[in-house]
Amino acid sequence: MALNSFADFGEMQRSVLQEICNMGAGNAATALSEMISAATDISTPQVKVLPTAEAGKIADLLSRGTEAFLIKLSCDMQGAVLFIFPYAFIERLAGTFFPGASVKGKGDVDEMVSSVVRETVNICAASYANNFSIMSGMTVDISVPQSVTAPSAEITAVNPGAVNSCFVNNSITINDSGKSFNILFFPELKTIQDFMGRIGVEC
């Protein structure tokens, strides 16, 4: 049966999306580990289908008091990926390159720290999105990271007019410090249907 909305997602579709995003987060974690020469770990991804307005509010809430960046996916895969970096994580990240760096809030994110953060977003986003391409043969492009404080408008625009939205939440942790950040993936329904069809999952 064709999906008319994310509310029609069955257990199989949820499990497939969860596993694909788990692999994407694993790729991002590996890229981060190589970048900072430290071991990383990933959480079990959570797949949620919620009213679109509520999904947007959650994204806004999680982004407060952090450095958050929105990546838009284009070409064959449409959607948005939100990277949420708490300042404790940024301090650990920056400390790799600038020993003794202190990052307690936005005022401590100078040009050098910002450069490291944006490069991390670029590397992790490319690794995350590339997994969709490898699995399905789809062409997936990523945008330049957009710094956001309230991403709900961009999240809503992924599935315009939709009553509900789907998102997947992963976290990646640097093992030596326990500091982590979150990746939230908000896909477009039609391209998820296409993706699952390409990998042989009824949708």
Per-residue model confidence as pLDDT tens digits over 132-169: 999 999 999 999 999 999 999 999 999 998 899 999 99
Phi then psi for residue 198, to 5 deg, are: -70, -30
Q: Which residues contact 70 (CB under 8 A, 6 or more apart)?
A: 80, 81, 82, 83, 145, 146, 148, 151, 154
- For residue 53, give the H/E element and its range: helix 52-63
Query: Which residues are 37's β-sheet partners?
Result: none
Q: How far apart are CA 70 and CA 52, in angstroms?
A: 17
Angle, vertex CA 188, rays to CA 22 and CA 21, nearest 5: 5
The answer to whether the beta carbons of residues 54 and 162 sit under 8 Å apart is no
pLDDT for 42: 97
Q: Is the dihedral of CA 84, 90, 92, 98 positive or negative?
A: positive
The answer to whether the beta carbons of residues 145 and 69 sit under 8 Å apart is yes
> In one letter, which amino acid is 200?
G
Closest CA to 79 of 26, 9, 157: 157
- Considering the entire predicted model, what is its pTM? 0.94
Residues of the chain with pLDDT under 50: 1
